[in-house]
Structures are given as structure tokens and as C-alpha cells.
């Protein structure tokens, strides 16, 4: 898009957002400048504030503005259980179930050797230290059931067992509400192996 320098700079900056190419960035810039200047100013302020204020919880590594996040600071939570997830969004999904009253550790990523993401790039050292506070008894691995999530769970699981902690993994099986005919083979195989007494 031909135009003034500050418009070019805005389009270039918008392209740093994940999944935004030059066409989307131009469309976003056009929309903000033509129809929503208030939104542009609001987003500008929100970005500046978040970038300076948001840091990592010293306990669970998730995003927070204070030293410790609300979940870790909550005295009602069961401190003997530590659930390990990849991202704050995964943690939010678990919280919505209201089925877990323990604490979390948020890796902020997953092991992915092909992308050059090793143990140092996600919060593994911090997790190992956190899990050895003498209060945590069980580490629940809730990384995703993808190749990388499984590998991450394996590495953490082995390290935790070596430290004498109980290690569990979210159950794999047939999703609620689904028909067997449409469930993939691997899932059915896992559901058979992990079958439970009725």
C-alpha cells in the first residue's frame, strides 16, 4: 500500500503478530485508521502497559503483574498437587472444569528439538526446583497429546520420578459425546488399554 511513513511503519509492526501477513496487516491498518482511531489508541496503550507490567509468577511461571499469581496465592488450593501445562490457555481450560483444586506450573512452551526449543527455553529448571519444595507430592502431567507434548511429559515425568515424586498423566480415551465409529484408531486403542472397572 502506497502511503505515508507512519502507515508503512504500522503495517510492518502489525506483521510481527503471529499469522498476520502483509495483506492482513494492510487491512488492519486501514480499518483502524479509517474506522477506529479510538481502537488504535487503546491498543497502543494496552500493548505498552502489558509489555512493561506483565511478568512471570515466581511460583508457577504464568503471566502475572505481581510477584505471585492469584491462583498460587489462594490458600484454598491443595498445595500437594502440581499440574504441569504448556500455556496459560491450557490452564484456563482445566480451570473451567472446576475439577482440580491443586496448583499449576505453566511451562510457557513445549520441548521441540526441530524448532530448536530445548529444556532451557521452557521453564524446566524452574519446575524441577518448584516441585522439590517438600509439599508437592504428585505431579500431574497435562501437556498436550501431540508428539511434542508427549515428549515434554516424558522428560518431566522421568525427572520427577527420579526425585521420588508421584507422577500421573491425564487419561487418554474416547471423548465425551462421541460415537466410536468416528473416533480414530489410536484413541480407541488407548481407551482399550486404559479401560477401567465399572
Number of Cα atoms under 13 Å in the Cβ half of residue 1:
19
CA distance 145 to 198: 25
Give yes or no for a contact between 139 and 161, defined as CB atoms under 8 angstroms apart: no
Q: By rule CB under 8 A, what count of residues binds a second copy? A: 59
Q: Does 125 bind a second copy (CB under 8 A)?
A: no
From candidates 21, 42, 132, 188, binder to a second copy by CB under 8 A: 42
Least Cβ distance, residue 170 to a second copy (angstroms): 19
Query: Looking at 59-67, 74-82, 130-138, 187-195, which segment touches a second copy (CB under 8 A)?
Result: 59-67
Q: Which three cell numbers stand for residue 12?
A: 510492518
Site for a second copy in 75-114 (CB under 8 A): 87-89, 91-92, 95, 108-109
Q: Which residues bind a second copy (CB under 8 A)?
A: 1-7, 9-10, 12-14, 16-19, 24, 26-34, 36-37, 39-51, 53-54, 62-66, 69-71, 87-89, 91-92, 95, 108-109
Amino acid at each position: 500500500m502506497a502511503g505515508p511513513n507512519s502507515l508503512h511503519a504500522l503495517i510492518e509492526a502489525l506483521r510481527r503478530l503471529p499469522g498476520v501477513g502483509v495483506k492482513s496487516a494492510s487491512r488492519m491498518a486501514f480499518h483502524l485508521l479509517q474506522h477506529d482511531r479510538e481502537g488504535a489508541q487503546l491498543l497502543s496503550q494496552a500493548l505498552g502497559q502489558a509489555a512493561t507490567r506483565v511478568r512471570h509468577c515466581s511460583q508457577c511461571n504464568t503471566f502475572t503483574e505481581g510477584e505471585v499469581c492469584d491462583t498460587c496465592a489462594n490458600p484454598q488450593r491443595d498445595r500437594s498437587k502440581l499440574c504441569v501445562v504448556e500455556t496459560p490457555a491450557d490452564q484456563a481450560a482445566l480451570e473451567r472444569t472446576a475439577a482440580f483444586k491443586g496448583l499449576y506450573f505453566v511451562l510457557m512452551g513445549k520441548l521441540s528439538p526441530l524448532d530448536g526449543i530445548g529444556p532451557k527455553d521452557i521453564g524446566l529448571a524452574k519446575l524441577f526446583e518448584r516441585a522439590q519444595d517438600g509439599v508437592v507430592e504428585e505431579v500431574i502431567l497435562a501437556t498436550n497429546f501431540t508428539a511434542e507434548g508427549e515428549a515434554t511429559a516424558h522428560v518431566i515425568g522421568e525427572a520427577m520420578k527420579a526425585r521420588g515424586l508421584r507422577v500421573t498423566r491425564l487419561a487418554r480415551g474416547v471423548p465425551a459425546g462421541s460415537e466410536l465409529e468416528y473416533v480414530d484408531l489410536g484413541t480407541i486403542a488407548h481407551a482399550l488399554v486404559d479401560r477401567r472397572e465399572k
